[in-house]
Structure 1
Amino acid sequence: MNRFFNLYSNCIPVKGSEESIIIDLQNTEHINVPNLLFDVLRKTRTHTIDEIKNFYNNSLDEGIDQYFSYLKDIGYGFFTDHVEMFPELNLEWYSPLKVNSAILEIHEDCKYDFNSAIKELSSLACSSIQIRMSHPDVNNILSGILDATRKSRIRNVEIFLPESLYEEHYLKYLDDIENRINTFVIHSVKDEILTQDLYKNYKYHIDHKLIFKSETINSATTDHIKMENFIINMEFFTEAQQCNVALNRKICIDNEGNFKNFLAHKSIYGNFRNKSITELIEDREFTRKWFVNNDSIEICKDCQFRYICFNNSDIEFNGHSWQKVNECPFDPYTNLWKTE
């Protein structure tokens, strides 16, 4: 067969140590495939199907035909005589934003002016802010956050509250279109199943604007790495080619006012009480980790999920290579999750 087989441009194969995947950016899904198929697919842009079969001395003819037919049937690829007419997807990523997201910690003994921090983040075009609050004066703090964000460049404010401080009337802020507060995450819930059931028909809960979690969210909390938390879309995938997506253009300020790449990290890069956020993002030591993508990190570089995984673990340079501080539950060398 002198025809070509071509994957649709939105279907991109990624090779891991023991297994590969094909990521469908349009339908936000992925499928698992053997590494041998990955190697075959790498040749399809420049070789006909017959040429590929000959490369493997025709020992894989049946398997190649079956896989190409399967990929065609599920809408991942097609047969063509003119592969040059279907260019590959441009994976360049660019953002004009100096700061994309921020996490601010506000406890009862808060040591910095968080409203000033929010206003400066807005001036830097930060689009999303997460507020982790355990301060009992919730009403006044929410009022200050509203004043600091109304008519600002900030588009998304998430409020994290322990169940002990949550009152239903706070949800009134979700109805005002001028407000930037659009999500309340209530954590440390004593009985998550009962609470979810009580609110199952509540419009904010249905719209995922009111979320209940049994786990406690604090400075040490990190995101869980699991299949259901993978992020598959064009923006994330292209950013992951260049950057550490979980840390890139992110500002975190703990309750003491300390600047961090992420709240759970140990490294501190100054304090908001005597250093502006504008000065912080000019600090190369702080921004260095933004540009260490998973292709540059030991173990991650051999994982087939490296472009769809959101992992805010700290990273360290040991003199030879970058490594993540937190252990991942997935082992790309055995292709197994540690819970299995």
Structure 2
Amino acid sequence: MELAHLNLDINKKCFVFACCIPVKGIQLGAIYDLQRDDIERVPNSLIDFIYNIHSKTIVNIIEEWKNDDIAQEYIEFLIEKEFIFFAYKDHFPNLSDDCFNDDVSKIEFATIIVSDDLIDKMQYISDRIDYLGVKRLHFHFSLNVDIKKIHNVLNSLEKSCVIDLSVSLPYQENFTASVLLKEQRLKSIYFYQSPYLKEDNYGRINLYYLKQDESNLFVPKSSIDTIAINHRAFLTAKKFNLGLYKTILVDHLGRIRLNAVDQKDYGLFLGSKEEIEESLSILSELWRLNRDKINPCKDCELRYACTASFIPEYIPEREGYFVNCNYNIHTNEWIH
């Protein structure tokens, strides 16, 4: 067995690094590497194997699995990926939910569907953004938008608490981002209805050319791009719905939604502070529905990393919360 050739003290024990989290799904498992911000999808049998060998001595592992070729492959894989280490005692305490460092903001990420009416109220919107403590903000502009309007909208946030700005606007063949470069917080521009798919950059600004039209640009969808692997995301997902937590969409009428297809109205973004607090109270109930409480998410190996903003619906006949996700947990494939 591989362990026999490592020249290790056979009385040392095998331990899984605390930052490497095994997660089982109904069909596949996954190992969340929170140190490298990476994920490795693996057979569920490997997850079982990890739990079996954890804290056992090398001599015991060799004796128990010496005639098992699959166990040999698993050991080689875990060593190669640096998911396990060998020592006389575990030097790394398990991650605790108590170390969850919640952001003090009321809303972390907001998408605003810009309309002429909202543009006229940008100063009020900026004040509300500061009140909520929004850190990441996305502005969506519809067809025939004037570049100067975009600049004026972004300029209204000059003294706001926002640290990450992005915009989406219709594809323009001769578009130049130079007028927007003065906005240091602008990170990305998304061009929808583009004739081609492309990723580019203009100075420090990332440019994304998308073929989607405006109608489905913000429709919730799971994909490899909606998977977030990091320490904070994992701890958030253990307590809350990672796809909805402190996230809102403001439609063209200024109404608060959870996403672009949400039929519920959670109040006006520019309503009174008392009304906003009431809206946040309602939203927080949905945020607390983490994916361990939702079907089929609770059986998915990606449940602590998925940021797709599906809204769970309670179905009385089935006595549970459900979402219509495009990821098939039985075939482990995304349906596009």
What is the alpha-carbon distance in structure 2 between the residues aligned to residue 77 and residue 338 of structure 1? 34
Counterparts in 2 of 1:52 and 1:156: CA distance versus 1, 3 Å: same
1:86 equivalent in structure 2? 92
Q: CA deviation at 1:112?
A: 7.7
Asked if 1:221 is matched to 2:197, the reply is no
TM-align CA RMSD? 3.0
* Cα distance in 1, alignment partners of residues 214 and 107 from structure 2: 23
Report the alpha carbon displacement of residue 218 of structure 1 after superposing the two structures with TM: 4.0
User: Deviation string for 1:48-72 (max 9, x for gaps)?
Assistant: 4566788xx7697553344223211
Q: 1:115 to 1:247 in 2, by over 3 A?
A: farther
Q: What is the rounded CA distance, in whole Å, between the counterparts of 1:271 and 1:3 in structure 2? A: 61
Instruction: Find the partner of 2:303 among 302, 306, 309.
Output: 306
Distance 1:22 1:222 in 2: 29
Return the alpha-carbon distance in structure 1 between the equivalents of residues 26 and 62 of structure 2: 24
Does structure 2 retain, via aligned residues, the 8 Å contact 1:219–1:264? no
Counterpart secondary structure, 1:192: coil
Gapped regions of structure 1 (runs ≥ 5): none
CA contact (8 A) 2:17 2:83 kept: yes
Q: Following the alignment from structure 1 to structure 2, what is the Cα–Cα distance between the partners of residues 2 and 216? A: 62
1:114-153 Cα distance to aligned partner (Å, 9 max, x none)? 4412321123221111111116453453344234211221
2:43 paired residue number: 34
**Residues 1:13 and 2:22 aligned together:** yes
Change (3 A) 1:147 1:108: closer
The aligned amino acid for 1:98 is: K
Match of 2:113 among 105, 109, 123: 105
Please give the per-residue CA displacement for 1:235-277, whole angstroms capped at 9, x wherever unaligned. 222211111122111122101121111222111112245x236
- Mark the CA change 1:135 to 1:117 in structure 2 (over 3 Å): closer, same or farther: farther
Residue 320 of structure 2: aligned partner: 321
Secondary structure of the structure 1 residue equivalent to 2:214: coil
CA shift in 2, pair 1:255/1:117, >3 Å: same
Quick check: 100-109 or 275-284, which moved more? 275-284
- Scaled by the length of structure 2, the TM-score of the pair is 0.83
Q: Is the 8 A contact 1:129 1:157 kept in 2?
A: yes
Relative to structure 1, is the Cα distance of residues 337 and 213 closer, same or farther in structure 2, using a 3 angstrom cutoff?
Answer: closer
The answer (yes or no) to whether the contact 1:258–1:270 under 8 Å persists in 2 is: yes
> 2 CA distance for matches of 1:311 and 1:5?
36
SS at match of 2:156: helix
Whole-Å separation in 2 of the counterparts to 1:32 and 1:148: 44
Residue number among 249, 266, 269 corresponding to 1:269 in the alignment: 266
| Deviation of the 1:162 alpha carbon | 0.7
CA distance in structure 1 between the partners assigned to 2:77 and 2:176 by the alignment: 53
* Alignment correspondent of 1:128: 136
For structure 1, which segment, 287-296 or 137-146, has the greater mean C-alpha deviation from structure 2 after superposition? 137-146
Q: Counterpart of 1:159?
A: 167
**CA separation of 1:139 and 1:43: change in aligned 2, threshold 3 A:** same
1:146-201 per-residue CA deviation (whole Å, 9 max, x = no partner) reads 3421122111221111125x763443222454xx3332211111x215xx4xx95x
Match of 1:192 among 192, 196, 199: 196
